[in-house]
Structure 1
Amino acid sequence: MEEDYETKMIQKYQNDVQKQELKIISNNQLLDLSFVDKLSVNSLTVFSCYNIVFKELPLKVTSLQLNKCKLESITGLEQMIWLKSLNLFENLLSSIDPVKFLVNLNELNLGNNFIADLSPLQPLKHLTILEAFSNNISSLAPLQKLNLLTNINMYSNSISDISPLRNLKNLKFLYLGFNQISDVNILQFLPLTELDLNENQIVNIEPFKFLKLHFLTVSRNYITDLSHLDVFADQTLQMHQQQVPSQRQILIANRTKTIYQNEDRKIKMKSFSLKNESTKRIVKTFIDQMKEKEIHTYKMFVNAIHEETPWQ
């Protein structure tokens, strides 16, 4: 019976096998993937399954996607040591212990699960991209020696301390919105080009003056001084899937009482946006300063703008 099952499965997916990429859609309670071990596929994607039985592993694939499979456990994956890409987005995982054996992983997506402990990632020295947004993560300590990381997305977790990232000298893209971060001093030591710290508890952004950012979001923080924002390279910036050639665009949206306190006139931005600001008064001198700084576009949303502000 087992041989008949495997034969039928191989015949069913013969066309995909020729492409070296296999995609399976299953609404069954149990999905037996044992037949895949006899296929010459590099990439396996499984959609819409309720559970998976990994039988006679290891599977001979280098890329595995198990999105939205309602997995509560990934026991059985530990033998797949040649995996380079693993996507476990939107499952029911609270533990990822088997991942520690996948030492060849380059890309890992753990987004939208119930994971609190990242310690199984410590042996993954080849990891370059980590997506772990929408989890219960509070500590980044397990990442501190993963020196090849270039992209980290920890959006919507419970992170307050980012000091473990200090020595990640290859980190270019960092997304830490919707956390509890207040101290960003260590960021000045990183080669970041994109930084998202939306919805945190940041007051001081002086460390940003050492960065060569192309994109920055610090929406809904407590920033009181914007004089350190003259840190952006004149390069193409992609915002909301639109190319803005040779312009600098910064999204600033802070719950502050004072927008600008400095006489520094070095800021030269061509697009400037303030959103959801609880500011009670934007004084006339600030608007005049913006004009002198070649800020060509001003946008205010849901703000209490003082009636004397010369807004167009």
Structure 2
Amino acid sequence: MSEEQIEKFVSQYKYEILNKALRISDNQTIRTVTFVEQLEATKLILSECYRIQLLRLPTNIIDLVLSHCKLSDISGLKSMLWLQKLVITNNPISNISDLQYLLNLTSLTVNTSNLVDIQYLKPLLNIKELELSENKIFNISVLQNLSGLQKLDLRTNQIVDVSILKYLKNLTNLNLNFNKIADISPIYNLVLLTELQLCCNAVKSTSAFRKLTNLTLLNLAQTDLVDIGSISSLINLECVNLEENDIVFIEPLLNLKHIQLNNCFSKYAVEDQLS
């Protein structure tokens, strides 16, 4: 690409480069991004680029974001072996088999899509951060191989069984909001957790929390809890959400900075307080 062509691109397309990140948004004509290798960018953000074809990505791009591009086929990504971070959000994809070749990925997000099958993530042993929120996933057994995971976001799926979590002992952040989980005992030994979110599940007991003394944030809203005595041992808790439960009694938590209690007490607890 000549300097004249680059200047033409600069004047023709809506883009922005900030801290080596190139953003191209709301573009209905651009098809390829080979020109990016002429620019000083290591991160490429494509948003609402409906005609983009994932045929060849410059090797200087190690961080790629594909947002609202109407992508249903991501087979072009399988040759981009140097990618370290990948975000695919709000695209109608259901097949991620081509991601199994991206062994250098340390961070992967595939959210607000049509994902059900995530078995192809098994080889991605270098992943530290994984977000698969707002999909249709119910089987997460493959994740037991990703023992290096530190942040895992699976909110808004169809998950019932989380038994594999016992293998993910490096987790510090875990988001399971809006699933169908009743048994959370597998988190018992995840002692590095600092943030845990379980809103809108069928959790009945907090006994699995006793050893999670590094927790600073805990979300148990809308979980039908009655007894939360086990969280009294969580001495580092700063933020707790207990909204919409049926709790009888809350023990003091001395380090709390923020607590949400809207509609969290049973009518019997309220009557006891008033009597």
TM beyond 0.5: yes
Q: Is residue 2:9 matched to residue 1:12? A: yes
Shift of 1:283: 4.4
1:226 to 211, 222, 228: 228
User: What's the counterpart of residue 202 of structure 2?
Assistant: 201
Q: Report the CA distance shift for 1:58/1:204 in structure 2 as closer, same or farther (over 3 A).
A: same
Q: TM-score, normalised to structure 1's length?
A: 0.77
Match of 2:140? 140
Contact 2:243–2:260 (Cα < 8 Å) also in 1 = yes
Q: Which residue of 2 aligns with 1:114?
A: 114
1:227-247 alpha-carbon deviations (Å, 9 max, x no partner):
111132347x4xxxxxxxxxx
Aligned to 1:251: 241
Post-superposition offset of 1:94: 1.0
Larger mean Cα displacement after TM superposition, 169-178 or 47-56: 47-56
Name the CA distance, whole Å, in 1 between partners of 2:44 and 2:65: 6
Tell me if structure 1 keeps the 8 A contact 2:248–2:265.
no
Contact preservation (8 Å) 1:10, 1:35: no
- Once the two structures are superposed, what CA deviation does each residue of 1:184-218 show, in whole Å capped at 9, x if it has no partner? 11111112111000000010111111111111111
Letter in 2 for 1:122: K
Q: Kindly report which structure 2 residues correspond to 1:21-60, keeping only aligned pairs within 5 A, or say none.
A: 21-28=21-28, 31-37=31-37, 39=39, 41-57=41-57, 59-60=59-60
Unaligned 5+ runs, structure 1? 238-248, 288-308
Match of 1:31, SS state, is coil
State the AA in 2 paired with 1:196: Q
Contact 2:17 2:23 in 1 (8 A): no
User: Which of 265, 268, 275 is residue 253 of structure 2 equivalent to?
Assistant: 268
1:215 paired residue among 217, 223, 231: 217
1:51-90 mapped onto 2 (5 Å cutoff) = 51-57=51-57, 59-90=59-90
Identity score, percent: 28
**Mean alpha-carbon deviation: is it higher for 224-233 or for 145-154?**
224-233
TM-fit CA distance, 1:81: 0.7
Aligned-partner residue type, residue 222 of structure 1: D
Deviations 1:265-310 (A, max 9, x none): 964345653224483332455x4xxxxxxxxxxxxxxxxxxxxx27
Preserved contact between residue 128 and residue 150 of structure 2 (Cα < 8 Å): yes
Which whole-Å deviations, capped at 9, do the CAs of 1:72-104 have from their partners, x for residues lacking one?
111111111111111111111111111111111
Cα distance between partner residues in 2 of 1:133 and 1:195: 15
SS, match of residue 64 in structure 2: strand
Question: For 1:135 and 1:64, how far apart are their aligned partners in 2?
Answer: 20
Could you state the TM-score of these two structures normalised by the residue count of structure 2?
Answer: 0.86
Larger radius of gyration: 1
Pick closer, same or farther for the CA change 1:215–1:47 going to 2, 3 Å. Answer: same
Using the alignment, how far apart are the partners of 1:275 and 1:17 within structure 2? 44
Conserved 8 A contact 1:13-1:22: no
CA distance in 2, matches of 1:40, 1:268: 50
CA distance in 2, matches of 1:66, 1:136: 20
The Cα shift of 1:35 comes to: 2.9
Give the distance between the partners of 1:19 and 1:227, measured in 2 at CA: 47
Letter of the 1:132 counterpart: L
Contact 1:105 1:127 in 2 (8 A): yes
Question: Is the Cα–Cα contact under 8 Å of residues 140 and 165 in structure 1 kept in the other structure?
Answer: no
Give how far 1:27 is off: 2.6
Alpha-carbon distance, 1:30 to partner: 5.6
Aligned residues: 268
| Distance in 2 separating the partners of 1:194 and 1:214 | 6
Alignment of 1:96-107 (within 5 A): 96-107=96-107
